Amino acid sequence: MSANSSSKELQSNIEKIMEKKQYENFHEWVTNFALNLPRIWVEKSAKILNPEINRNLKKENNSAIVIGRGPSINKYEHLKLLAKSDYQGNIICCDGKLADALNAGVTPDKFSKFYVVTIDPYSSIKKHYEHEIVKSYGSKINGMFTVLTNPEVVEKARHSGIQIHWIHSLFDYNEGEKSFNNLSALMIRAKNNEHRLPAIQTGGNVGTAAWFTAWQILKCSTVALIGINHGWEESDSWETIIHHNNKGEISEGVEKDSEAFQKLYKKIYNPDFDCNCILDPLFQFYSEALKEFIERSPEKITTINATEGGSIFGKRIESMKFKNFLERYHI
């Protein structure tokens, strides 16, 4: 078999596995939605967080910081920098970094426009809402949850005092009227046609979803990213990289010193921060999706990568150190 045909077969296998992974939780999604529906009917739509709809919301400092849990956020002590800053914009925290942010002093007492986002359907996500510090600040935090979120997770957040706001996550809308996205929207409006939820792309991960909520729901014109590496550090072990999200089967039978393995686990150079990172197939998907979304976003939206590492660079992306962002956008 030629190298070219081998490469094509490898790429085809990756695409098949990723497509399978995308829908392997479909039964769980539908179950979660069905169990969430009675609450969705009576709880708030995230559209009320839109300052263009809710005139009670202030529009000053139309910027946001998205907090992910990539390795750079600890490496450069970004949470400590943020906690000491006078930043007055929106804080949008990915669920997996919520407790760390609060413990670092990034709290709704200091940053009043504080949000957390959850999109995953797994019950294991509830651990992010079980920390005592989350319960301490929960009543001051606005949460955005997709209708596919595991109901145990939402209940845990609700019990912590977090204010629940619902959103749609788009994944099969291209199927039109027969899509689950459309059918679930119809069911939500069955009791009240005005009860409409905003719909966002997620790119398969909460970091990308948080970026979307910043400009599509909160209407921020400037969105900064920290902890959104979408890639591995060179110091990370191959065992960790290969089994990211249990996708080790993609590389089964592929020798580590082969050309095929190098394509599966690409090492790329980030010229903006003068560093390398490694992308497994999942991070390749996440990275390319987010960069495409950013490139296609309205010209009035400025995306600043202040992660200081990772794979997010290119068209329509401005890169700078986080301390420089805070100096420029603190008021």
DSSP per-residue string spanning 24-65 = TTHHHHHHHHHHHHHHHHHSEEGGGG-TTT-TTS--SS-EEE
Dist CA 311 CA 161 (whole Å) = 35
Residue 159 lies in a domain: yes
Would residue 286 count as lying in a domain?
A: no
**Quick check: helix, strand or coil at residue 13?**
helix
Q: Which of 122, 56, 118, 67 is nearest to 89 (CA)?
A: 67
pLDDT at residue number 247: 55
Q: Do 46 and 198 touch, CB atoms closer than 8 A?
A: yes
Token digits of residue 160: 């912590």
Give residue 242's pLDDT. 82
pLDDT tens for the chain, 331 residues: list them: 455 555 566 556 656 666 666 667 888 999 999 999 999 999 999 999 998 877 666 655 689 999 999 999 999 999 999 999 999 999 999 999 999 999 999 999 999 999 999 999 999 999 999 999 999 999 999 999 999 999 999 999 999 999 999 999 998 877 888 888 999 999 999 988 889 999 999 999 999 999 999 999 999 999 999 999 999 998 888 888 887 765 555 656 566 667 777 888 899 999 999 999 999 888 998 999 999 999 999 999 999 999 999 999 999 999 999 999 999 987 5
| Confidence (pLDDT) at 24 | 72
β 266-270/275-279 pair status: antiparallel
Q: Residue 200: give the domain boundaries.
A: 19-230+299-329
Q: What is the pLDDT of residue 178?
A: 87
CB count in 10 Å sphere of residue 61:
16
247 within some domain: no
Taken in order 50, 93, 236, 305, the sign of the CA dihedral is: positive
Distance CA 190, CA 322 (A): 45
139: closest CA among 172, 104, 112?
Answer: 112
Q: Residue 166: beta bridge partners?
A: 45, 145
What is the rounded (10 degree) CA torsion for 199, 202, 207, 211? -50
* Tally of domains within the chain: 1
The number of beta carbons lying within 10 Å of the beta carbon of residue 270 is 21
Whether 108 and 137 have beta carbons less than 8 Å apart is answered as yes
